[in-house]
Chains A and B, each alone.
Chain A
Amino acid sequence: DAKTTQPNSMESNEEEPVHLPCNHSTISGTDYIHWYRQLPSQGPEYVIHGLTSNVNNRMASLAIAEDRKSSTLILHRATLRDAAVYYCILNSNTGKLIFGQGTTLQVKP
């Protein structure tokens, strides 16, 4: 499975936008880019996914580089409830998600 690289941790102020980067230089043409997050003591939660085009939903936006070797998850206005570990995962056709260490996002009031 192709690997992703994320910063270990990031900080943000409440009400400000947050850009969470992810590098996936070995991505293949059929890999979808998925983002999940895990709040403390909870199960992972699906956030967003995309293939080539940028995607928006009620939770976040996903910006995908033209060469697809990197992507950025954008939280438009961080709240304290967004403090979590964010995972960027490449979903190929194997039927399973491989989680890395993710980015721990701290949101300061």
Chain B
Amino acid sequence: NAGVMQNPRHLVRRRGQEARLRCSPMKGHSHVYWYRQLPEEGLKFMVYLQKENIIDESGMPKERFSAEFPKEGPSILRIQQVVRGDSAAYFCASSPSDTPNYGYTFGSGTRLTVV
């Protein structure tokens, strides 16, 4: 079991470009969560998705950010027109259920640097 796979591990983008971050959940997990960690800060919830549905996007900025989890393929977090303040580590987690009796498995993250 390969665990939660995130790629790329490191991503450098110039201001104004688009960033696409991918997350493949663990086999059998249909619930995906994205978190952002700014330098020297804690983890902030962004969005919770199930296959083809956004369940909770209360932590995601209203502009430039979007997320999807299609029927086939990985979950994608997309940031359009990146700015320096988007530089952060983005972590994805997955779980087999939305009930609280399951631990979440996190990926190793994507470190986004905007230059």
A residues whose Cβ falls under 8 Å from a Cβ of B: 30-32, 34, 36, 38, 42-46, 49, 51, 91-102
Contacts and interface: CB of A to CB of B under 8 A. Distances in A.
A98 B45 CA distance: 7
Determine the main DSSP class of B at the interface with A: strand
Contacts of B115: none
Given A30-B100, A34-B103, A44-B106, A102 B33 contact: no
16 contacts: A32-B100, A36-B106, A38-B43, A42-B108, A43-B91, A43-B109, A44-B104, A45-B106, A93-B100, A95-B48, A96-B33, A96-B56, A97-B45, A98-B45, A99-B43, A102-B42
Interface string B42-76: 11110010000001100000000000000000000
Interface of B: 31, 33, 35, 42-45, 48, 55-56, 91, 93, 98-101, 103-109
A30 B31 CA distance: 20
Nearest to B43: A99
A47 to B, nearest CB: 8
Nearest to A90: B100
